Structure 1
């Protein structure tokens, strides 16, 4: 009886386990059948095509604006100011007298010397006539001639003093600010006023360290006013002169660029931002900024690999080497090839291997070239 009871119990337990397993199998089969009809998880993004871009590396330096015809007028002689003919900021013509020192004494001396010369010239003429008839000695002729030469030199010396006391405009231009007043005493070598000509161009002088290649005359640089937003007031300037030696103190070479005033209006001694191209690369790829993601390992993008189904791709994480970027585009040196397709808006949602639906694919980028500046 006991054996039969045990057998019955074992059979009942086996039947119960079998029935439970059968029920579970039926449930799993139903779940698997249902899941077979559920589509694979995917994300929807926009995509763009990677393009090869021209990339120019440049260095940013600060230059100094120089006018080709800007000078400081200085009094060469001392004396009282008798006339001030122009106010600060006025336009003058070349040769016009700006400040006149008192030259009454010199004018009197010049008048006397001129009268004396007239007398000596008349005497020389008579002596020369007599000498031709041998009615006078050669010594008398030589003395008369020497006296005429001496008086001519005295007249030139007086005129030179008058010139030094007459401060004139060397060319057409605009005066700076001055404080010259009639009646004041000016010492020799005193600054009077500056004058700036009205040439249609300006020079920009700047220095580039010796670690960069030498630029040739005719090379173009980008210039801008310091503090101005890039692109708003930029202008191109051509290099017109290159210093053949380096400045010993800073081991840099001096350059001079020429910019038209119609391109950028700058003033004398104004600080100018200069962007100088030093290297150009042709194997750079460009993608929209939104395509580039970053983590602790660096930058990366999600390249979209076609699956064969229209509009569907697989996301593949690709590390990239970022060179530079502007407000729209990031420039990459490694990691992608031309015509690769990468995720754009929505890239942050992706992970490696996920199925991707592309709703909008663009084949061009807004900016395919750039200049990256490194400040010195």
Structure 2
């Protein structure tokens, strides 16, 4: 049986992350020797496909001055990190790749290396702003708080792979070697509590999370606490693990990955607007793709898991291991149409315009273009 790792992807929820009990924990990473970026022909954008039909009517398009985004195609974006060495080997990239993601060294060099360079600039300038603010206030303010990055997107779109990859790349910049990754999975209500609330079939929707606990966690990070604890989720058992916590000790950067991390604040019955998790982000990334492509990726991933992780006797989804391929396709499509599709359309996709950076994927999982919010 294959080892249980981040390839055990969840079904009603997004890809598994490393703060589960069945995978490597998202601890602070140390730097490793850099490797020169592969030299070859200039990167080219993939040919146009039907998945970009809706792009022409997208209000986020940046060809006109009314858009809040600058849009760069793949080749223009890749050129921004020509002089940056790639610190990861092909084996390391493969280890970080999620099930079904077509991730290779070219994709890392062309897309994610420039993002890590941009984020490093943001971190450095936030540090300079902190120093200037302390000087302006003539105070002995405590050391700066962690730089927090939100990573959002649909189930099966590859945001967990994006978060893992950014964690590794950011940790190789000498200014911020301590990078932690936390997913919002641990902040789901337990299955028992979801049953009590009648929400088990809504798992992954905003109301299935303990939003107050998640908000408190992010506030503690941005308050500069020496140690912050996050709950742990098991994707094998499909539930929160009681009495287990992930410990964060003053990291330089914290990546928070999840379906709903860009949700706006809730409005109370009295009309009061509270705080939202995204209010405490210094930067945010939304991983985007055409809905038919994401639906197909989800179905393909379900079929792969039927042959691997579902066969584990401890798996919550073992009942799917013995389905025939046509049965498995029908079940995956049923789950998508009942849960993941409505959640994407009603809750996740509407938050895309709140992201600092949008990565638009093509039908083959490669990033086609990047949108960066104007300053």
Q: For the superposition of Structure 1 and Structure 2, which TM-score range results when normalised by the shorter chain?
A: under 0.3
Q: Which has the higher contact order (CA 8 A, sep 6+)?
A: 1
In proportion to residue count, which structure has more strand?
1
When Rg is computed on C-alpha atoms for both structures, the one with the higher figure is 1
TM-score, normalised on structure 1?
Answer: 0.17
